């Protein structure tokens, strides 16, 4: 049974068909990459899967349950987590608090106990803080434990966002261009991090432009062009696919 299944997915913005008739499956425990030229519809696909956009038509299934059009916070409850291409970090909070927000669903979210500071809440927050600190070390941002999010460099923030996404203990993690804006060293670090995450059993789907990274870690690659599926398969298969080469380099 696939963890995530997309069937005949369509999304149009006015006259622009961002995603057309897209179908694919993601198996649990794999690293699945989505690549394609700019404007191919990768981020739109992500936004559709994670509930930020509603499809124009088509279905999305998680564990064979229909989830298309469900709001993002409901999908989080089903075990889905994501990061954003244009960092969505809460700059009004500290780095640790950002990660703690990721654990939201694991905590007591009621108003009244919070207002009265019941012991359960206090304990829960202490554990949450510890877990969040652990995650910050896991992703390599340990030195920013006491920092404000606003004072952290870009590369660290990208990893902080991954920590936040992991804090939810997701089964499915979607990373939107995790290496965007990073130099070669930082990209290599992200490469290692993604593999570490996959080793813990989380299914990873990522959108990326960095071919070296993609070819290196992916179990399965989906190539998009103009919102449609151009090719899919293992890194080897995709790398030698003439359509893919033509799309990226132009037809000979």
Partner 1 sequence: MRTPRTGGLMLLALIVAAIPWFLPNNFYFEMAILVGINAIVAVGLNLLIGYAGQISLGHAGFFGLGGYCSGILVATYGWPPALALLLGAVGVAVLAFVIARPILRLKGHYLAMATLGLGIIISIVVSTEDWLTGGPDGMYVPPFTLFGWELYGEAVWYWVIGGLLLLAVWLALNIIDSPVGRALRALHGSEVAAQVAGVDTTRAKVRVFVVSAVFAAVMGSLHAHYAGFVTPTSSGFFHSIELVTMVVLGGMASTFGAVVGAAILTVLPQLLTGFEDYEMMVFGLILMLTMIFLPQGLVPTLARVFKRRDQGAGAIPGVDEVDP
Partner 2 sequence: MAEFLQYLFSGITVGATYALVGLGFAMIYNASHVINFAQGEFLMIGGMMTVSMLGAGVPMPLAIVAAIVLATVVGLALEKFAVEPARNAEVVTVIIITIGASIFLRGLAQVVWGKEYHALPPFSGDTPISIGGATILPQSLWVLGVTVVVVAALAWFFNRTLLGKAILATSHNRDAAQLVGINTGLVLLISFGLSAALGAIAGIMIAPITLTSYDVGIMLGLKGFVAAVLGGLGSGVGAIVGGLILGITEAMAAGYISSEYKDAVPFVLILLILFFLPNGLFGVRATERV
Kind and range of the H or E run holding 202: none
* Single residue of 5, 19, 26, 47 touching partner 2 by CB under 8 A: 47
Interacting positions 165-194 with partner 1 (CB under 8 A): 165, 167-168
Q: Where are the alpha helices (DSSP H) in 95-183?
A: 95-102, 111-116, 119-138, 154-167
Nearest to 166 by CA among 195, 143, 136: 136
Distance CA 154, CA 144 (A): 12
Q: How far is the CB of 21 from partner 1 (least distance, A)?
A: 26
Residue 77 makes contact with partner 1 by CB under 8 A: yes
- What the block records as the tokens of 94 is 């500290």
CB 34 within 8 A of CB 205: yes
- Residue 79 interacting partner from partner 1, partner 2, none (CB closer than 5 to 8 Å by kind): none
Residue 94 makes contact with partner 1 by CB under 8 A: yes
* Single residue of 5, 62, 84, 168 touching partner 2 by CB under 8 A: 84
* Single residue of 33, 44, 98, 218 touching partner 1 by CB under 8 A: 98
Number of residues that bind partner 1 (CB under 8 A): 49
Q: How far is the CB of 105 from partner 1 (least distance, A)?
A: 4
CB 24 within 8 A of CB 41: no
Q: How far is the CB of 175 from partner 2 (least distance, A)?
A: 14
- What the block records as the tokens of 80 is 């889905």
- What the block records as the tokens of 50 is 């994670």
Residue 129 makes contact with partner 1 by CB under 8 A: no
Residue 93 makes contact with partner 2 by CB under 8 A: no
- Residue 115 interacting partner from partner 2, partner 1, none (CB closer than 5 to 8 Å by kind): partner 1
Largest interatomic CA distance in the chain: 70
Q: How far is the CB of 78 from partner 2 (least distance, A)?
A: 20
Burial 14-36 (b: 16+ CB within 10 A, else e): eeebbbbebebbbeeeebbbbbb
Nearest to 190 by CA among 200, 202, 182, 198: 182
Residue 151 makes contact with partner 1 by CB under 8 A: yes
Q: How far is the CB of 162 from partner 1 (least distance, A)?
A: 13
Instruction: Write down the residue that tokens 């899967």 correspond to.
Output: 49
Residue 108 makes contact with partner 1 by CB under 8 A: yes
Distance CA 58, CA 89 (A): 31
DSSP 150: G
Positions that interact with partner 2 (CB under 8 A): 13, 43, 47, 52, 84-86, 88
Positions that interact with partner 1 (CB under 8 A): 50-52, 71-73, 75-77, 80-82, 84, 88-94, 97-98, 100-102, 104-105, 107-111, 114-117, 121, 124-125, 128, 144, 146-148, 151, 164-165, 167-168
């Amino acid at each position: 049974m696939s963890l995530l299944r997309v069937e005949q997915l369509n999304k149009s913005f006015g006259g622009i068909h961002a995603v057309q008739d897209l179908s694919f499956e993601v198996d649990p425990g794999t690293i699945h990459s989505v690549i394609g030229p700019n404007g191919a519809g990768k981020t739109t696909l992500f936004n559709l899967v994670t509930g930020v956009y509603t499809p124009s038509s088509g279905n999305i299934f998680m564990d064979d349950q229909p989830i298309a059009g469900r709001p993002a916070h409901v999908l989080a409850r089903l075990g889905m987590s994501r990061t954003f291409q244009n960092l969505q970090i809460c700059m009004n909070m500290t780095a640790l608090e950002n990660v703690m927000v990721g654990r939201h669903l694991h905590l007591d979210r009621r108003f009244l106990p919070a207002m009265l500071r019941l012991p359960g809440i206090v304990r829960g927050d202490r554990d949450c803080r510890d877990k969040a600190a652990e995650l910050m070390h896991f992703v390599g941002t340990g030195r920013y434990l006491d920092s404000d999010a606003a004072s952290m460099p870009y590369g660290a923030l990208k990893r902080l966002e991954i920590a936040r996404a992991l804090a939810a203990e997701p089964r499915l993690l979607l990373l939107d261009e995790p290496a965007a804006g990073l130099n070669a060293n930082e990209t290599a670090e992200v490469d290692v991090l993604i593999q570490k995450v996959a080793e813990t059993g989380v299914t990873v789907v990522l959108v990326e432009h960095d071919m070296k990274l993609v070819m290196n870690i992916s179990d399965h690659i989906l190539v998009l062009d103009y919102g449609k599926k151009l090719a899919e398969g293992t890194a080897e298969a995709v790398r030698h696919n003439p359509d893919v080469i033509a799309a990226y380099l132009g037809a000979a």
